[in-house]
Structure 1
Amino acid sequence: MNEFHGRTVLVTGAAGGIGGATVRTLAARGADVIAADRSAESLERIVAETGARPLAFDLTDEADVARAVDGLDLWGLVNCAGFGGLVAPAVDAGMDMFDRVIAINTRGALLVTKYAARSLIRLGNGGSIVNVSSQASLVALQGHVSYAASKAALDGITRVTALELGEHGIRVNSVAPTVVMTPMSASYWGRPEIEKPFLAAMPLGRWATEQDIAGPIAFLLSDASAMISGVTLPVDGGYTCR
C-alpha cells in the first residue's frame, strides 16, 4: 500500500504511543515520515524501526519550532504531542500545571501548525493536517478541567484553520480519542471504581488501542477523506453518543 508515496508528513509526539503507532502506519503506507519529539534520544527506537527521519525541537519555544519546521517541504502534519497534567477538581486546579497543559496541547500545536502550514501553502500541492484532541473536549470528565480546556481550544483551532487554509486545498481535522490504556493511564483509569462505570457507559465496552487511533488519523490524512475538513471525529467506542 503506497497511498502516501511522495508525501512528507511531520508527526509530533512520535516517541509516544499514539504518535509512534501513527509513524508506523504512515511509513507502512509509503509516506516519508518526519518523526518529531523533544529529544533525539527519545526518537531512536521509532526511527530505527520505521526509517522515519528524526527531528527534535521544543514545541513550547516558538524560535525552536521556527528553526525546526519552517522551510520543510511538507504535505501533511499530525499534531500528536500532548501532556495530560494532573487529575484534580477545578477548585483545586494548579495554575502552573494548567499553563503547562495549555502550552503543550494548545499553544504548541498552533505553533507547529503556523510554520508547517506555510510550507504546505508554499508548495501549492494542498495537504492535510490532523490534530489529536480528546473525548475530554466533547464531554465532561471528572477532574480533567485543564486537559479538557486544552483540547476544546485545539478543536477551535482545527475549525478556524480549516476555514483559513481551505482556499489552498489544505484540510484540517481532529480526532478525539477515548482512553488508550497505557501504564501511565492505568494509574487513574485502571482503578476499579473508575474503570468499571466508564466502560459500562461505553457501547463498545473496551479501552482503545494505539492502532485504533492511528487508523483514523491516516484516514483523515488520506485522499479517502478528500471532502472532510473542519470536523472533530470521536474515536471513543461510542462513549460520546450517549
Structure 2
Amino acid sequence: MSGGDDAAEEPVGGPARLDRSDLAALFGRVRWRTAAGGASLVAAALLAVVALVAPQWLFEGETNAGLVPLFDGVVGVAIVLVGLSAVAGVGYGLWNGGPVLAYAMPTLPWLVGGTVAGQLALTVDAALALSGGAAAATAATYSVRRVTGRTTSVTEVGLALATGGTVVAAVTLWRVRAAAGGYASTGLRVAAALLALTMVALVLQVVFTLDDVGDQQS
C-alpha cells in the first residue's frame, strides 16, 4: 500500500451532508484503486454466473446422469469463489476505503449469479456473501476513519451500511443454519466466524463514533 496516495488525498467531508467528493469516497479514496476494485468486481460477477449456471446444463437430463457425482465439486467451487470475493472485499476496504464498493464485491457477484441462474435464495452462498459484505463495509469504514482521523459523512454511511449488512447476514445465517454437511458446513462455519469478528469491529467503531459526537458537542 502506498502511503503517498493516502497522504495526497483531500479529507472527506464532515458529517453534515454528502458532497461530490464524499460520493466518490463511498467507492474509494484513490481513483486508480477504485478502478481496480471495479474491474475485480466485474470479473468476480462473471465467474459467479459461470459457477452457478454451469450445474444447470452440465447435470441436467439423463444423458449427463454420470456427471452427478461432480455436482458437489461445482458447488464447492462456487462457495470458494464467494469466499474469495469476501476476502477481496475486506482487502479492498482496508486498502482504499469505499464502503459501498467494498460491500458490493462479495455481495454483487452472488446477486448477479443467482439472478441469472434463477437460483436467488437464502443458501450457504448467500450467508457467506452477505457476511463478507458486512465485513468488507466495516473494514472500509475503519480505513476511512484511520485516514481522516474523525467521523465524517462517509464513515456514517459506512457504519449504516455495515450495520444493516450485519443484521441481514445474521438473519440469513440463522435461516440456513441447518444446511447439509460437506462444503455447506464449511461455508457456514466460515460465515459465522466472519460475522462474529465483524460484529466486534462494528461495535468498536460505533463506540468511537459516539465518542467523536460527544467531543463535538462538548
- Same fold, TM exceeding 0.5? no
Q: Which has the larger radius of gyration?
A: 2
Q: TM-score range by the shorter chain?
A: 0.3 to 0.5
Question: Which structure's relative contact order is higher, taking Cα pairs within 8 Å and 6+ residues apart?
Answer: 2
Greater strand share, structure number: 1
TM-score, normalised on structure 2?
0.33
Greater helix share, structure number: 2
TM-score, normalised on structure 1?
0.31
